A and B are shown apart, each in its own frame.
Chain A
Amino acid sequence: MIEFQMPSLGADMESAALVEWHIKPGDRVEAGDIVADVETDKGVIEIEVFHPGIVDSLLVEPSQDRLPIGTVLAMIRGEKEVPERVPASKEPARAAVPQIAQPAGVKPPTADGERRIRVSPLARKIAAELGVDLSKVEGTGPHGAIERADVERAAEAQKRAPEVVQPARPVEEAPKPAVAPPATDTYAAMRRAIALAMARSNREIPHYYLQTRIDMSKALRWLEEENLKRPIKGRLLPAVLLLKAVARALGDVPQLNGYWREDHFEPQEAVHIAFAIALRQGGLITPAIHNVDLKSLDELMEALHDVIARTRGGRLRGSELTDGTITVTNLGDMGVEVVQGVIYPPQVALVGFGKVVESPWVENGMFGIRPVITASLAGDHRASDGRQGAQFLDALNSHLQEADKL
């Protein structure tokens, strides 16, 4: 029997609320299947199971309560196991759980293929507070998503209709989290999470910093020509050139691609680049784009569209938040020329790109103006040294001089 626990979804995450199950006892699951939605300071994340099996029992009911990482959420048995009777000596609440009762405000778990209700975290919270059954609410947000106004409207209508009977909730047996109660202000909560991660990073990781200026004239000229061959829907952003070049340079200097574990560096074969995406309401999230080295520029652009849309729509998967082997942050659009960042543990490097600036450039004794980008590297001195960092930036530059080979 396997314990399915609340996963860690990043260095800055300590707890999350289980807001919706997508499985029920008896369902068969495969590795990678999404089994639940959890809500963190960064929004709602879909979490996956990593072992195949059959769902034996769900131990936690969806609620707004924050559960620490490691809390056992469900039991999954391997296919060869025989279903266990839950011993009567365990907490009485367990007996009520195997067939999940429907607490007010939660849509019943759906079978594969059924449309799930999309609910914004705020709407979900208000629905719980007002006792609104989300399955009866009509969503007016994007793709029929339920937003706060929809819930409030439904609550008004409910006041006039006969009262919805609230089923008694089984006593919550999960240990109360030792962390501070969730901030009612999501932005403040996110800032606190970021602060925790940044402070820990700076405390634990001995950073070194390097930067270099890269002449982007060839790359941008090549990109413009390529884009003329594509419809606007397929237009490539300079960001994909940067991501691919980073992936290539990591192939040349693998000491920057991987994880620091306890006391040693674990290089990773795969290159999953966590890309910093700003949220309009403030805050930053860094989902990974997988196998950047294996994707064509068009595939990368498609992946970028997909990950940004799901980030802003609050539909990321847990694996996307933890799989990054390195992070790239691009503040060029903001007019910042150089970025000196803080590494996200357990990664060992962070690459920053600033704004492309028309700058004086001397080459072969000739003076001209070129579009120049400043690329910076923050490195974990335990995993690499300045020389390797410099080799990486050098490789990055070489790859960007041959954009057609990316």
Chain B
Amino acid sequence: MTEAEIRTIIFEGLKRIAPEADPASLDAHLDVRQTLDIDSYDFLMFLIGLDEKLGVEIPEADYGKLISIDDMVDYLAARIPREAA
């Protein structure tokens, strides 16, 4: 899975919980939760979506590593189960 594909999946997930937002136009360094006004419930739903799409279950202890979109991409890229080429 390429970085661009991961980014698209993140945008789709964010769009689902914040339909009025345009995640693609966000500065990738910003605190996503604050910028899009995402509460703890929405954030959990977003993570459940990521688990469904990418097979990565993110523990609570790692929430601090998912502040910006770039953070999320890096975190997920390192953990997506490798498939045979």
Contacts and interface: CB of A to CB of B under 8 A. Distances in A.
Interface of A: 224, 227-228, 231-233, 235, 237-239, 278, 280-281, 304, 308, 332-334
Given A227-B60, A281-B20, A239 B40 contact: yes
17 contacts: A224-B60, A224-B61, A227-B59, A228-B59, A232-B44, A232-B48, A232-B51, A235-B44, A238-B40, A239-B40, A278-B39, A280-B18, A280-B19, A281-B20, A308-B41, A332-B40, A334-B39
B5 to A, nearest CB: 21
B3 interface: no
Contacts of B51: 232-233
Contacts of A281: 20
Interface centre among A231, A238, A280, A334 (most CB of B within 10 A): A280
B59 A237 contact: no
A308 B18 CA distance: 14
Interface in B1-34: 18-20
A232 B47 contact: yes
Contacts of B41: 237, 239, 304, 308
Interface string B31-54: 000000001110010011001000
A278 B39 CA distance: 10
Interface residues of B, number: 15
Interface in B41-81: 41, 44, 47-48, 51, 57-61
Nearest to A142: B16
B44 A333 contact: no
Contacts of A231: 57
A227 B47 CA distance: 14
B45 to A, nearest CB: 9
Contacts, number: 33
Nearest to B59: A228
B41 to A, nearest CB: 6
The 6 closest A-B pairs by CB, nearest first: A333-B39, A232-B57, A232-B51, A333-B40, A232-B48, A224-B60
A160 B57 CA distance: 51
A238 B20 CA distance: 27
A290 B51 CA distance: 30
A91 to B, nearest CB: 45
A280 B20 contact: yes
Contacts of B20: 280-281
A181 B19 CA distance: 29
Contacts of A308: 41
B38 to A, nearest CB: 8
A308 B42 CA distance: 10
Contact of A237 (B44, B48, B57): B44
Nearest to A235: B44
B60 to A, nearest CB: 6
A233 B40 CA distance: 14
B30 to A, nearest CB: 16
Nearest to A223: B60
A221 B46 CA distance: 23
Nearest to A231: B57
Contact of B48 (A228, A233, A238, A280): A233
Contacts of A333: 39-40
Contacts of B48: 232-233
A233 B60 CA distance: 13
A35 to B, nearest CB: 31
Contacts of B44: 232, 235, 237
A237 B42 CA distance: 11
Nearest to B20: A280
Given A232-B44, A233-B48, 6 more contacts: A233-B51, A235-B44, A237-B40, A237-B41, A332-B40, A334-B39
